[in-house]
Every structure is written in structure tokens, then in C-alpha cells.
């Protein structure tokens, strides 16, 4: 029993010394891969002039250029190029909903852009 009391006294002493010592906050953990990884390239910003003149306006999908198609919400360069390629291969769109036949232009994009997509 005396051994237990001595052991407990030693533990109390250790806890007291740790509690009274100032502890520095831990250094933030960083991954070595993050520190050495090169910065990712960002996509070039669209021309403010083009966006200001075309954004919000109707887009005739039968005559629109790649840049004009890119003003549609969620349409990037690759999808805009696919739309133009589809139009060149199949002829003009007869209805605005036909744009959904282009791979990558699904229901979600149609819902976001149907007020702006026109066929003239």
C-alpha cells in the first residue's frame, strides 16, 4: 500500500509540473506535398467587354460563336465548341430544346439557360 501512495504522489507531482509549465501551441501541420507543389494555372478571365455586352441577352444557338455561347451559365470553351461542332454536323437547330442533344448540355444546364437560348 505504501508503494501505491508513493506512486500516486509521483503522478500528482508530474501533473502539477505539467500544468504549471507554459505550453506553446502546436505548430500547424503542413503537408510537404503542398509546400512543393506548383501553383495551379487558372483559366483566363473572360473579356469584360464581351461579357458586359452579351451576358444576360438572348443567344441564338444557330449563329452564336464559341465566345457568345460561353456567356451561357455553365458553358465553358469545350462545351461551346461541341455545340458549334454539332451544329456544323447536323445543320441548324430547329428548336431551342434541341441543344440538349449535344453531349454535356443536359437538363441542369438547360434549366439554367432556357430563358436565354433562342433559335432564329
- Look up the CATH number of the domain holding residue 79: 1.10.150.320
pLDDT one-digit tens code per residue, 44-65 = 555 444 444 456 799 999 999 9
What tens-digit pLDDT sequence spans the chain (120 residues)? 555 565 666 665 655 555 555 556 666 666 555 555 555 555 555 544 444 445 679 999 999 999 999 999 999 999 999 999 999 999 999 999 999 999 999 999 999 999 999 999
Residue 62 forms part of a structural domain = yes
- Alpha helix (H) ranges present in the chain? 2-20, 32-36, 48-54, 66-69, 77-90, 107-113
Which residue segment(s) compose the domain that 108 sits in? Answer: 48-118
Give the number of domains in the chain: 1
* Pairing of the two strands 117-118 and 59-60: parallel
Are 105 and 83 in contact by the 8 Å Cβ rule? The answer is: yes
Amino acid at each position: 500500500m505504501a508503494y501505491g501512495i508513493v506512486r500516486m504522489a509521483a503522478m500528482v507531482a508530474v501533473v502539477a509540473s505539467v500544468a504549471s509549465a507554459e505550453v506553446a501551441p502546436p505548430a500547424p501541420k503542413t503537408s510537404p506535398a503542398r509546400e512543393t507543389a506548383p501553383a495551379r494555372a487558372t483559366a483566363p478571365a473572360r473579356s469584360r467587354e464581351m461579357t458586359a455586352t452579351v451576358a444576360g441577352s438572348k443567344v441564338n444557338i444557330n449563329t452564336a460563336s464559341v465566345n457568345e455561347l460561353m456567356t451561357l451559365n455553365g458553358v465553358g470553351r469545350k462545351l461551346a465548341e461541341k455545340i458549334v461542332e454539332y451544329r456544323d454536323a447536323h445543320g441548324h437547330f430547329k428548336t431551342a430544346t434541341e441543344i440538349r442533344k449535344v453531349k454535356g448540355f443536359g437538363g441542369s444546364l438547360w434549366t439554367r439557360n432556357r430563358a436565354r437560348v433562342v433559335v432564329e
